[in-house]
Chains A and B, each alone.
Chain A
């Protein structure tokens, strides 16, 4: 396992202040409130700053799962996004997700569990100490990035819900609202976005329930306010803006699998030996690099996850 090594503050590329107009106005509003000494009121009038995109998060744990590879810049990670609800071009989400309302937000944990629950973002932020995890992230399209995510293992919230004997899979669902996502209609995929994991995959400590990155809460275009990060699977498995986590008996359906089952399997583990029908998966372009680099089995996380698939034909279960 790689250890969290010689990363310093200086390694984290200083990020340009990332505020959309709304938030600037909101911040101005907050400042005004402070001037008249009505901080308390502003807290009631505006939801706690901790859940607003761009708010500083209190990260107390540096994860041993972190890579020491060079991270991509905040600028890159916030301006090169696949988030089809906000348009299909990479630059679309950064332009169109600014007005996305993520407050208030509720995540429902339900299905085959003894203790179903609805969590507010405030609850989620307090369930466990927040960890920074610097993961490689590999898109099915053949590009990759390294991102300092913030969150904690999904197992935390699943254990609280206490899955029943019957629970074998976890199904996730994204938020979807045509009014707020007018470009989604042209995406060609069925929404709301759905994804799924086998229960043992979901319980693996690498599987991250993610609430932030680069020391702050998630920007809207990166899946605010809460998303999954599953670093050994292609990026589309890491569902964004989650509203529902449901424990289920059978293998759940997933958006890209519905769209093109022969191209996007349920597992979708990063695998240089199993090509996408239309392109090779043997290599990838790390953003910021000119030439492609070799793609690693399970995106370099074999030590942690290979055992989940012993005896399985990964060509068949792509």
Chain B
């Protein structure tokens, strides 16, 4: 049973299916657009939709490590990069809905907005921090940076996810249930890491013996 599960996780096809699954929200938007069913405010709909999916993919990416340990499925690591890159993909679309229909590529106005509005500032910061992670997501970059340094850099995703939750929380008018829900999931995922790092027995400091 476990072997067949492993086989499934290691299959090329699983990755392809997952890729298409990650892309399906885009398909959903096109399908609704085709039905002219993007609500009375299509721009806002797409903006919120891509924002939601950015946050979801960030949380999915962050849940892979705990799931590997808790379910004893180390092979799940195969999908982490894809999930992280999809978070980046959706945040790019999300940003585009802001740059184009909202700001009409008026970069001066946009800069004013980013610097003046905390919820946009924090959202933009989350996006900026994700860029180096997307760029260094390849095997080559892991090698060049070295595992330790690469891992340290990629801990920036914690900050991005936090930015995403705060961005959402600061945006809503009075009904904070959804941003709090995402925040609670993020808190669990981060607490898991904290507890692991506290409970993990540290290797004793060894002094190299004189030669």
Contact = CB atoms under 8 A, between A and B. Distances in A.
Assign chain B's interface to a size class.
Answer: 10 to 19
Interface string A88-106: 1011000000000000000
A143 B113 CA distance: 17
A187 interface: yes
A204 B113 CA distance: 35
Q: Tell me which of B39, B117, B170, B174 has the highest count of chain A C-beta atoms within 10 A of its own C-beta.
A: B174
Given A80-B41, A187-B174, A291 B104 contact: yes
A200 interface: no
A88 B39 contact: no
A19 interface: no
A278 interface: yes
Nearest to A286: B41
Given A187-B174, A292-B104, A279 B117 contact: yes
Contact of B44 (A143, A259, A279, A291): A143
A123 interface: no
Nearest to A287: B40
A177 interface: no
Nearest to B101: A290
A193 B56 CA distance: 34
Nearest to A81: B40
A190 to B, nearest CB: 10
Contact of A259 (B41, B43, B174): B174
A287 B101 contact: no
B177 A186 contact: yes
Contacts, number: 56
B41 A287 contact: yes
A168 B98 CA distance: 43
Contacts of A186: 175, 177
B32 interface: no
A188 interface: yes
B6 interface: no
Assign chain A's interface to a size class.
Answer: 20 to 34
In terms of DSSP, what is the predominant structure of the interface of chain A?
loop
Contacts of A91: 39
Interface string A282-312: 0001011011100000000000000000000
A76 interface: yes
B113 A280 contact: yes
B40 A75 contact: yes
Interface in B40-71: 40-41, 43-44
Nearest to B118: A278
B119 interface: yes
Interface string B25-46: 0000000000000011101100
A88 B174 contact: yes
Contacts of A143: 41, 44
B167 to A, nearest CB: 11
B148 interface: no
A288 B38 CA distance: 11
Q: Tell me which of B40, B41, B119, B170 has the highest count of chain A C-beta atoms within 10 A of its own C-beta.
A: B40
Nearest 3 CB-CB pairs, A to B?
A: A188-B174, A80-B40, A76-B40
Interface of B: 39-41, 43-44, 101-102, 104, 113, 117-119, 170-171, 173-177
Interface of A: 72, 75-77, 79-80, 84, 88, 90-91, 141, 143, 186-189, 259-260, 278-280, 285, 287-288, 290-292
29 contacts: A72-B40, A75-B40, A77-B40, A79-B39, A79-B40, A80-B41, A84-B174, A84-B175, A88-B174, A90-B41, A91-B39, A186-B177, A187-B175, A188-B174, A188-B176, A189-B174, A260-B174, A278-B117, A278-B118, A278-B119, A279-B117, A280-B113, A280-B117, A287-B40, A288-B40, A290-B101, A291-B101, A291-B104, A292-B104
